[in-house]
Chain A
Amino acid sequence: MTMTTATAGNQAQQPQPQTIGFGNVLHSEWTKLRTVRSTYWTAGIAALASIALGALICARTAYNIKHGRQSLDGFDATLASLDGLYIAQVAIGALGVLTISSEYGTGMIRATLATVPQRRAMLAAKLLVFAVATFVAGEVMSFAAFGIGQQLLGSAHAGISLSDPAALRATIGGGLYLTAVGLLGFGMGALVRNTAGALSAFFGTLFALTVVDDLLPTNLRNDVIPYLPANAGSQIITVVHTAGSLSPWAGLGVLTLYGAAATVAATVLITRRDA
């Protein structure tokens, strides 16, 4: 508690960079992401959901096939093993929201922006760190879920291997799908800034749009359905497509556009709004 201002003279001793570099901001954002518990909670839930749920579905399907209760007609073995991603996406989206909204909620944003006044650079660094982390974790989950799921389905001779180009695309697509959903969460978090509001906007966009779609006239509805975020994005993890759906990559692109639109809007606004 004794106070000596040993703080002075510090500048003379150590060489310091002339300006803040983007690398500095990336480094900082990575530290932020890895030093809060919510990151590990959401990643843990996502991993559990994608791997355990996928395994459960595949085990049950294998049992049904072996006992003649399910035919292999139109069966999508890849999607069966990746079904858990539909639950994992909720956790990943929430993490995307929290990554930015928690800064506003706690007041940390003011310390952040006082350190890095280049707000767009800060937002870009935060997004990049989150997206790369989500992509890497998402690919691990997707490949693990596929591997375990196909092992289980194999017992009923219903499995598929990664040598199948569509199965490989879908499994790689699993990580991409989670990243695109994470981007939507991040964009909503950056745009709305309040955690509860941003979570609502995220879930609303991902799921509730489907309900709104029912209000449209029938002839229009069929034109719109493939472009809803969940429908579009899920094509990348689907091997056996239903008629009228978008192609895998176009679908992923459409889902990504939703998140990109929210993120771009937030990027435009961030320098105009008071922090």
Chain B
Amino acid sequence: MIEATDLTKRFGSTLAVDGLNFTVRPGYVTGFLGPNGAGKSTTMRMILGLDRPTRGSVTVNGKPYDQLRRPLHQIGAVLEVRAMHGGRTAYHHLLCLAQASGIPSRRVNEVLDLVGLENVGRKRAGKFSLGMSQRLGLAAALLGDPAILICDEPVNGLDPDGILWIRTLLRSLASEGRAVFVSSHLMSEMALTADHLIVIGQGKVLADASTSEIIASGSRKYVLVRSRDPHRLRTLLTAAGATVNSHPGDDSSAVVEELRLHVTGMDHDTIGDLAARHGIPVLELTPHSASLEDAYMELTHRYVDFHAGTDASTAPATESGI
């Protein structure tokens, strides 16, 4: 269990983390989402006692990090890709951390095995690829068999195989009753991995709810309707309280464009019934659910420090509902 209370960190004139309150519970994968510069890494560093909060506090199993007995047995962390001396072998990197915690050296071989590095344990960590470094970081985090695991962007730089492996690992660790706290900027990945999400922007909590609740909260749900009589249907739908727009689709044909309606505020069953009652032929009726990415973009839109030139969030919702 990780509990943050009014957690605040100021660097000079920049308020990196601004009064965060959240709890990371055992048995779940909790995703930590936010744009670059939102304060995710700083928050994780404060959890580990590496950065001192300007105000507020964060505890691990009820204690500030520096008061934990044998911290590696309570919380494992993968903070940065290469928090290791490149000249040391993977085995020795893990060994010195194990020794500091009184963990026997055979556990080092166990965790090397666990992350699939058993054949390269005697190689220098500096020669490792990004993916191998991530695995070594995870091996270090698992040394003490901790009840809490925190990972900063663990799938960064991994190939699809590695991403699947991490996802499976994190999910199985949570299913064993551990608290898993993981940050990522890959929304689709979080949607598959996390049970619960904490979304932050400019150092503040924007949302703290289950993944499905956050996806459902996205307003970008709509129904695509194609009809032979779009004008009459549009009038009927609007009268019934729905919001209708011409679908800003990618069809270049103006004729096709004219046929497609983008309906929000009414579900597809109701639209179908309404059209049938008025004898309007409907050619297509496709519900589009919002993706986590859409919900996330909506939440964080105002808080992104640096906007790209074109505003991606005005694009229609993606077809694949998650």
B87 touches A17 (CB 8 A): no
Give the chain A neighbours of B140 by CB distance below 8 A. Answer: 111
Residue B142 CB within 8 A of the other chain: yes
Contact of A28 among B79, B83, B100, B173 (CB under 8 A): B100
Give the chain A neighbours of B173 by CB distance below 8 A. Answer: 5, 7
A111–B141 Cα gap in the complex (Å)?
9
Residue of B nearest to A273 (CB): B52
A117–B66 Cα gap in the complex (Å)?
5
Residue A114 CB within 8 A of the other chain: yes
A selection of 18 A-B contacts at a CB cut-off of 8 Å is A3-B169, A6-B114, A7-B145, A8-B145, A10-B110, A17-B70, A18-B69, A28-B97, A35-B96, A106-B82, A110-B45, A110-B50, A113-B50, A114-B50, A114-B77, A117-B66, A118-B66, A275-B45
Using an 8 Å CB-CB cutoff, how does the interface string of B71-111 with A read, 1 for contact, 0 for none?
11100010110111111110011011101111110010011
B70 touches A20 (CB 8 A): yes
B102 touches A16 (CB 8 A): yes
Give the chain B neighbours of A115 by CB distance below 8 A. Answer: 71-72, 97, 100-101
Residue of A nearest to B64 (CB): A117
Using an 8 Å CB-CB cutoff, how does the interface string of A111-124 with B read, 1 for contact, 0 for none?
11111111000000
Given contacts A8-B176, A18-B69, 15 further A-B contacts (CB under 8 A): A3-B172, A7-B110, A7-B142, A10-B107, A11-B73, A17-B102, A103-B85, A107-B83, A108-B85, A111-B140, A114-B72, A117-B49, A117-B66, A117-B68, A275-B51
CB contacts under 8 Å to B, within A197-223, are: none
Residue of A nearest to B143 (CB): A115
B168 touches A3 (CB 8 A): yes
A180–B165 Cα gap in the complex (Å)?
50
Residue B116 CB within 8 A of the other chain: yes
Residue of A nearest to B164 (CB): A3
A83–B298 Cα gap in the complex (Å)?
71
A25–B77 Cα gap in the complex (Å)?
19
Using an 8 Å CB-CB cutoff, how does the interface string of B100-129 with A read, 1 for contact, 0 for none?
111110010011001010000000000000
Residue B48 CB within 8 A of the other chain: yes
Given A108-B84, A110-B80, A274:B101 Cβ within 8 A: no
Given A107-B82, A117-B66, A24:B100 Cβ within 8 A: yes
A16 touches B176 (CB 8 A): no
Given A106-B85, A108-B83, A274-B51, A116:B114 Cβ within 8 A: no
A172–B50 Cα gap in the complex (Å)?
41
Give the chain A neighbours of B65 by CB distance below 8 A. Answer: 117
- Most A CB contacts (10 A, CB to CB) among B45, B85, B169 go to B85
Give the chain B neighbours of A103 by CB distance below 8 A. Answer: 85
Chain A interface size range: 35 or more
Residue of A nearest to B161 (CB): A1
Give the chain B neighbours of A24 by CB distance below 8 A. Answer: 99-102
A124–B97 Cα gap in the complex (Å)?
17
Shortest beta-carbon distance from B141 to chain A in Å: 9
Residue A60 CB within 8 A of the other chain: no
Give the chain B neighbours of A1 by CB distance below 8 A. Answer: 116, 161, 165
Residue A32 CB within 8 A of the other chain: yes
Shortest beta-carbon distance from A145 to chain B in Å: 29
A5 touches B169 (CB 8 A): yes
Shortest beta-carbon distance from A163 to chain B in Å: 44
Given A3-B172, A18-B69, A111:B87 Cβ within 8 A: no
Give the chain A neighbours of B50 by CB distance below 8 A. Answer: 110, 113-114, 274-275
Residue A243 CB within 8 A of the other chain: no
Contact of B88 among A5, A29, A36, A118 (CB under 8 A): A36
Top 6 closest A-B pairs, CB basis?
A: A28-B100, A35-B92, A117-B66, A28-B99, A107-B83, A10-B145
A259–B49 Cα gap in the complex (Å)?
28
A108–B73 Cα gap in the complex (Å)?
19
Given A10-B107, A20-B69, A111-B140, A116:B86 Cβ within 8 A: no
A28–B99 Cα gap in the complex (Å)?
5
Shortest beta-carbon distance from B238 to chain A in Å: 53
A102–B176 Cα gap in the complex (Å)?
37
Given A1-B165, A8-B176, A111:B114 Cβ within 8 A: no
Residue A19 CB within 8 A of the other chain: yes
A7–B102 Cα gap in the complex (Å)?
17
Residue A71 CB within 8 A of the other chain: no
A5 touches B84 (CB 8 A): no
Shortest beta-carbon distance from A102 to chain B in Å: 6
Residue A38 CB within 8 A of the other chain: yes
A25 touches B85 (CB 8 A): no
A31–B96 Cα gap in the complex (Å)?
6
Given A1-B165, A7-B111, A115-B101, A274:B45 Cβ within 8 A: yes
Shortest beta-carbon distance from B58 to chain A in Å: 13
A110–B176 Cα gap in the complex (Å)?
27
Residue of A nearest to B147 (CB): A11
Residue of A nearest to B106 (CB): A14
A25 touches B80 (CB 8 A): no
Residue A68 CB within 8 A of the other chain: no
B70 touches A19 (CB 8 A): yes
Residue of A nearest to B48 (CB): A114
